[in-house]
Structure formats: structure tokens, C-alpha cells
Structure 1
């Protein structure tokens, strides 16, 4: 059975510091590069642990470090054990 899984980088809590004013285009480009780098690290992990056969679909990189994938529950369990990632099932939402 395929489940929708969301993977994000695991982070330590940090103190709030206001961001300095900067060029929005440069900020967006840097965020997209970080999103692509994170997606590459997730794919590298899946390939090195030979889990790609249990993955049906992986989202494209975006402007935040977040990957959505359709996989089996065994892949989710492996991702949850990895200290670099925070992974969980996406919430099913039914509309009427």
C-alpha cells in the first residue's frame, strides 16, 4: 500500500533573530537551491539504502526544504530512523 510521506530536515530549536533586509530575488534563489540540495540528500539516502524500488513518486524541489513522496511504510520507518530527517505521514483530508 502506498502512503503519502512528508520529509523535512531535522533541526534544533534556535533563538529568534529577525532576518536582515535583503534582495528578495536573491533570497528566493538561495531558498530554491537549499530545497534542491535537500531533495538530493533524500534521494541519495533512498538510493544508498536501496529503497527506490519501494518509492512510487517524489516531488520536485521547491523553495523550502521539504520532500513529499509516495512510498511503502517500510520506507517511512527507515526515514524516521535517520537522524538527518524528520518524516511522517501526510494527513488524509476528505472533503464533502
Structure 2
């Protein structure tokens, strides 16, 4: 039982550490230009949903799209409001 608890906690810690590193890397690489592009494209919620669906259809993985969007939010490149539309579209794109 204790092994399971430590395994789950260790996995969660690795996941959170990876998200932190990915967010820092995206912020360094992307900068202001990507932020402006994402802001322009996801300004209208319906367009954000369509973008999420198209991105998921292209990569065939809603998880990959969601992880990328969470990384963008963590890096400050997208707001939560923008991300919700894209993630909803990602879930639509898997069907």
C-alpha cells in the first residue's frame, strides 16, 4: 500500500516538475510574438474551439494538445479564458 502511495506522489511530483520546466522553456523561446499571435487567434471563443479541434485532429491526440495549452498558460502566453476554448475544442477533435 505504501509503495502505491509513494509511486503516485512521485509521479505527480515528476509531472509538476516537467510542467514547470516546459513553461519556463516556452517563455524563453516564444516571447512576445507568440503571445500576440495566440491572443489574436483565440480572442473569439468559437475560433478557439475550432483551433483546438483542428490541432487535435492534426496530431491525433487531445492529451498532446491539452499539455501544450497548459504549458502556454503556465508560461503566461495564454490566459485561462483562451485556454478553455482550445481545450474544449481538443476534446471535440478526438471524436
User: What TM-score results when the alignment is normalised by the length of structure 1?
Assistant: 0.36
* Structure with higher strand content: 1
* Structure with higher helix content: 2
- State the structure with bigger RCO (CA 8 A, min sep 6), 1 or 2: 1
